[in-house]
Structure 1
């Protein structure tokens, strides 16, 4: 694992500039593949986050590593289709931060199953999900804005215990 101290906390206004820097990183976007218009336009980004933060059905958390904001993580969606999503600053990839953050999020959310999706070639994210108990249950194909192409994706589920 990592010797970095990882914690999740509620999102603060001051976190948003960090999230923007993480989410608008072209290389991180390419790896994630499935991006939204809000990741390319700061005004759309701010509106997106205002909506997320106002929605009681969305559990958003800031990922903090050794006191530094390094990402965001969330659970959203209807009760029978709750989905996890996370975005870790590329400078912190490969340090098990995403795994530690997802483990902490899963502990906060008793709902099962939880769903996740990842680009089929995003081995890092798939590995994080599998280390946290998610299993690949299917494949799909969709338009990946960051690659301007249709690509394969995997569907994962964290089943009930």
Structure 2
């Protein structure tokens, strides 16, 4: 079954679905590196208002067959641009993240692009590698979702 994947500007009507996706405890555990806005709706609303108002952030809603299934973004200063994405857990394993990230990096001319992932998040690492990112570093960082330091990988798209 082929799924039509599209990116579009985030709309106010997308926010309830994005909140539900980002506040999913099982997905948070897999992603590991979460922020306060993943746990508090007021923080979520403030964060999304900030990023949607920042012209340097490329923020897109991910649609699968017209349904909001996540978001993808590029942010940061010109020489440190980083990608991030989040796909609703019920849609994992269908190629949606890979297709969405490929479209997103096509919108962004800056290179290199960077990404971070929990070292045990093999699904996310695989998505990034399919889109041309390569592992260029390893480190440790605090994973809010897990309440402890974890191993991380840094990936780069040259």
TM range (shorter): over 0.9
The Cα RMSD (Å) is 0.6
Matched residue of 2:73: which SS? strand
Structure 2 counterpart of 1:85? 84
The whole-number CA distance in structure 2 between the counterparts of 1:89 and 1:140 is 27
Structure 1 residue 36: deviation in Å? 0.4
The whole-number CA distance in structure 2 between the counterparts of 1:28 and 1:146 is 9
Structure 2 counterpart of 1:15? 14
Structure 1 residue 110: deviation in Å? 1.0
Residue 53 (str. 1) matches residue 21 (str. 2):
no
**Which of structure 1's runs of 4+ aligned residues deviate more than 2 A?**
none
The whole-number CA distance in structure 2 between the counterparts of 1:100 and 1:83 is 17
The whole-number CA distance in structure 2 between the counterparts of 1:67 and 1:43 is 27
Matched residue of 1:7: which SS? strand
After superposition, residues 5-154 of structure 1 pair within 5 angstroms as 5-154=4-153
Matched residue of 1:140: which SS? strand
The whole-number CA distance in structure 2 between the counterparts of 1:144 and 1:106 is 26
The whole-number CA distance in structure 1 between the counterparts of 2:52 and 2:66 is 22
The whole-number CA distance in structure 2 between the counterparts of 1:85 and 1:3 is 24
Matched residue of 1:124: which SS? helix
The whole-number CA distance in structure 1 between the counterparts of 2:100 and 2:107 is 11
Matched residue of 1:147: which SS? coil
The whole-number CA distance in structure 1 between the counterparts of 2:14 and 2:142 is 29
- TM-score, normalization by structure 2: 0.99
Structure 1 residue 3: deviation in Å? 1.1
Structure 1 residue 85: deviation in Å? 0.1
